[in-house]
A and B are shown apart, each in its own frame.
Chain A
Amino acid sequence: MSGIILEKLDDNRWLLPQTGGMRVPGMIYANEKIYQLLKGDESAKQVANVAHLPGIVKYSLAMPDVHWGYGFPIGGVAAFDLDEGIISPGGVGYDINCGCRLMITNLTLGDIKERLRDLTTALYQHIPSGVGSKGSIKLSGKDQKKVLEEGAAWAVKAGFGLHEDLETTEDGGAIVGADPEQVSARALERGKQQLGTLGSGNHFLEIEVVQEIFDEAAAQSFGLHKGQIAVMIHTGSRGLGYQICDDYLAMMVKHANETGIALPDRQLACAYLKSGRGKNYLAAMACGANYAWANRQILMHKTREVFEKTLRMSPRDVNMRLVYDVCHNIAKIEEFNIGGTIKKLCVHRKGATRAFPAGHEAVPERYRKVGQPVLIPGDMVSGSYVLVGQEKAMEETFGSACHGAGRVMSRSQAIKSSRGRSIARELSEKGVLVMAGSKGTLNEEMPEAYKNLQDVVQVMHDSGIARKVARLKSLSCIKG
């Protein structure tokens, strides 16, 4: 852990004391078991590095799924003052608005058990996945501009889904202030052919079944009940987002000397939020975010079609509806109570999910009495959790929670450990049918490469940041 000493505050929180050029202390959400894992990588040092950035407020935070990333740790949360603070493309990540979308149906396990292989095969055939996958949608320049400005609403207008889907999408599926003029020709070119594609790596589409309910009232509000079939989609803004991040990061590295900000790592290159460069990045990032929402909206629509066609059921009988869509790689301008004053801050969530509590106006009206659904996918066997945001998240974590289990094994370790094994067969023995474009991806994504999802989620639950609502078990999974 590079000589960093953490002080235990309670069973779920560790303080990283302010030293050297750190402007605030760090705080890591972890139980004893997760704390031990932290010792194996550089993520605590990255939490300390983020604390060096100008205008950071209160703490440099890490959620319990924290692991070693580049620049910011993955699972990192940091909020910055709008006047004195910065925006960092690396603090959002290359996959702008990478996120999750959970859909539920009227179907039960009995309805699809015999058809699971057919359904999964049909999804695998109809949803383009894999490295550099191209979609069937060819965007004209004019349409692409609209995608970047309107996000998921564009997809709905173009016939991919229902207007009500937007009601339960974070920010209604579009961040305001998107300006396509701030997106490079290279990024636009890469985005033209990838709308409606899943991608590769840890991106996936899973058919799941609701296995356990922890909070009846919240589950009811979200429409979840035991035995119900659901679908989880995890993907983001594809090559367009990667290129936006890459372009702006390079620009900010190039001009790093002009800002006079001493950076412990170049990947933390940033611009003041007030500056032209900072504003332009925010406008470009919003384009990437909106593209990602349109992408997940289209994938949801395709999934609906596949279910209806394969099961020969009407839309009304399948009744696939959106529980929620969250982004977990983003920077957002949001309001928080800082020492008794309401302040607007720029919250970076890099591998962290928004977790707003009951009553917050950004929570969809139908969930406002219980709070925002927080979607936490785990490895291919663990399935996923649905949590609900709590008031404490507003007090401690700038309304944020974890976003997954978090890797614990490097990709090369995973590949080494998978030698001589068939991960697909092992998964099938555990009751999960997997279809993947590449064996390499499957090996890298093997379940033991991740932390125990239950441990990670329990830290959020016990620390009062987000409460457990339901657990879903994976039935089948398609990967790129």
Chain B
Amino acid sequence: MSNYKFFDHTADIGVEVTGRTRKELFVNAAEALFDVMIESKTGGEEAKQQKKITVEGSDIADLLINFLRELLYLFNGEKFITGNCEIIKFTNKELQAWLTGESFNSKKHLIKTEIKAVTYSGAKVEKIKAGWRARVIFDV
């Protein structure tokens, strides 16, 4: 079962993400972000790069948005595509993560949709029976 599904929104793209733990929720949300934007062809191995990020937020929903905003900036501003994300420190107000990924290469990566921004609109993170669930709207 996929860890995220898209919900209908007139102008933008809404995504509902789940995870057994909060860390898993965040990692799955990152995957959803790049799934909207990029399709990768297999093969053509690119040199892997690593980046360490620190993100803050006033609560867990704010932290999630700021985490996704950072990944989106790394793509838009530095052409860095996050492939893997390991969260090494996590509280509801701060996280640190190691990102592994590669630079955008038009031969390997196809941009499906431009995400202008990760919005705060209706952003929600909640505890559910099977773990955690979040809703986020991407401005496209």
Q: Which residues of A contact B (CB under 8 A)?
A: 41, 43, 67-71, 74, 90, 94-95, 130-132, 186, 189-190, 199-201, 239, 242-243, 245-246, 249-250, 253-254, 256-257, 265-267, 269, 407-413, 438, 440, 480
Contact = CB atoms under 8 A, between A and B. Distances in A.
Which 9 interchain pairs have the tightest Cβ spacing? A70-B121, A266-B120, A267-B121, A131-B114, A68-B10, A70-B119, A410-B8, A131-B111, A94-B116
Given A131-B114, A199-B114, A201-B114, A267 B120 contact: yes
A245 B117 contact: yes
Nearest to B139: A94
B12 interface: yes
Interface stretch (B43-51, B69-77, B83-91): B69-77
Interface string B109-132: 001111011011111000000000
A131 B110 CA distance: 10
A407 B10 contact: yes
B58 A253 contact: yes
Contacts of B66: 250
B8 A71 contact: no
B120 A410 contact: no
27 contacts: A68-B11, A70-B12, A70-B139, A90-B120, A94-B117, A130-B111, A131-B111, A186-B73, A190-B76, A190-B77, A201-B140, A243-B77, A245-B117, A246-B69, A250-B66, A250-B69, A253-B120, A265-B120, A265-B122, A266-B61, A266-B121, A269-B120, A409-B10, A410-B10, A411-B12, A412-B8, A480-B114
Nearest to B138: A70
A246 B61 CA distance: 16
Given A94-B139, A131-B111, A253-B58, A69 B117 contact: no
Nearest to B79: A132
A407 B11 contact: yes
A167 to B, nearest CB: 31
A4 B122 CA distance: 18
Given A266-B61, A413-B8, 5 more contacts: A71-B119, A71-B121, A246-B73, A409-B10, A410-B11
Given A186-B77, A253-B62, A265-B121, A242 B116 contact: yes
A325 to B, nearest CB: 21
A41 B140 CA distance: 18
A113 B139 CA distance: 38
Contacts of A246: 69, 73, 117
Contacts of B6: 412
B137 interface: yes
Nearest to A67: B10
A249 B120 contact: yes
A94 B13 CA distance: 15
A246 B138 CA distance: 12
Contact of B10 (A242, A265, A408): A408
B107 interface: no
Contacts of A250: 66, 69
B9 interface: yes
Nearest to A253: B120
B114 A200 contact: yes
Contacts of A256: 58
B10 A70 contact: no
Contacts of B112: 438, 440
A253 B12 CA distance: 21
B125 to A, nearest CB: 12
B57 to A, nearest CB: 8
Contacts of B137: 70
Contacts of B119: 70-71, 90, 267
Contacts of A43: 10
Given A41-B10, A67-B11, A266-B121, A132 B114 contact: yes
B10 to A, nearest CB: 4
Contacts of B13: 411-412
A199 B121 CA distance: 24
Contact of B140 (A71, A249, A411): A411
A70 B61 CA distance: 16
Contact of B113 (A67, A74, A243, A440): A440
B107 to A, nearest CB: 15
Contacts of A68: 9-11
A411 B115 CA distance: 13
Contacts of A190: 76-77
Interface in B7-44: 8-13
Contacts of B11: 67-69, 74, 407, 410
A314 to B, nearest CB: 38
Nearest to B119: A70
Contacts of B114: 131-132, 199-201, 480
A420 B119 CA distance: 32
Contacts of A245: 117
Nearest to B62: A253
A239 to B, nearest CB: 6
B4 to A, nearest CB: 14
Contacts of A69: 10-12, 121
